[in-house]
Structure 1
Amino acid sequence: MHGPASLGWLLVALCAATGAYCLLRMRSADEEQRRAAGGEAVMGFGMAAMAVPAGVFTPPGWAWPVYLTVFGAAAAHSLWTMRSLSTARAGGHHLHHLVGTLAMVYMAAVTALSPSHVHAHGSSGVPLLTGALLVYFAVYVLTSGARLVPVGVDSGAGGGGSASGAGWGDRPELARACRLSMGIGMLAMLITM
């Protein structure tokens, strides 16, 4: 990633922490939660690796085809999952994961094809596609953030709520926060393209 080193390190920390939490979510009793968490862990750790500041570590030339392969396989898996699930269940999350993996493929391809893997502002990538991805992830971040805001507060149960007995892997609000942080990370990465 090109840009200020402090932003790069913050993004690495955010994405790595998100990937680690997604690994914890893979211990869920719900199979769909485990499957989604596995894909999100790949995204989190992949984003963390791609976000390392270029001034600190310049990946070797073979790293970009590896990123293309990993994220291409994740995109194919998302497509396969969407195809095999019923229309009602294959909704927003799987489509969002597909868009995210394809965005990572796009960023890896642009970086691999750019001369000496260095970006000049405004000269790399297809501006229309980058802009479309920026708009998509900005809308995603805003709507996801709005879903995290509590609508009403139940003051009677002593703060227990319905999620009090749920394990770390089964907390929907934490899963949404995880996806929100990866959306913010994706926005930051796309801005530096």
Structure 2
Amino acid sequence: MNPAVNSNNLANPEPLSFKGRIMALSLLMLLITMWVLGIHAYLTLPDMVPTHFDAQGRPTSYGKKEVYLILPLAFSPLPAIFLVITRYRFTLINKYPYLINLPAFFANIHRIPSEQRGLWVNRYFDALLALGVTLSAYMLLLEWGIYEGALHGSLPSWFNLTAVITPFAVILIFLYYMRKLSREIEAAT
């Protein structure tokens, strides 16, 4: 008998779906790209660079180029946390379910046949990985926009609108998908 299979578990471990593995790999690649861009900016920009921009994208203050090493450092925890949470998803679900806020999942988990629970866990975590990929791509886009602003003396025209609207759109789409997934789990029970 597989030691990971335990009748006391809410859900027995299942490997990530193909889509989940692709998203986890994408998340890792985005994390690496954040650092490559930050290091590239640090190595290629002059010692003094714009560090703050006004609403029109014009620089208002200047500072040392080390800020381009701080950006990937500040952005790295998000993809890293998504990867760690996904790696330990079954440990979290089975041992620390109070750390995961999935009310529809936990309300219906005991009505789902035990052999299908792992698949449902993976569907929820596929959604979390998609959120992680989207937010990481957003942060990489911000980093690239700031680099372009330093390179050309003003932020790209798309920067401000993208910086403000994207988080709201991502959150609304994610909440809609989670609601849809919750309805699917209720229908499957």
Q: Same fold (TM over 0.5)?
A: no
What TM-score does the superposition give when structure 1 sets the normalisation length? 0.32
Q: Which structure has the greater CA radius of gyration? A: 2
What TM-score does the superposition give when structure 2 sets the normalisation length? 0.32
Give the structure with the larger strand fraction.
2
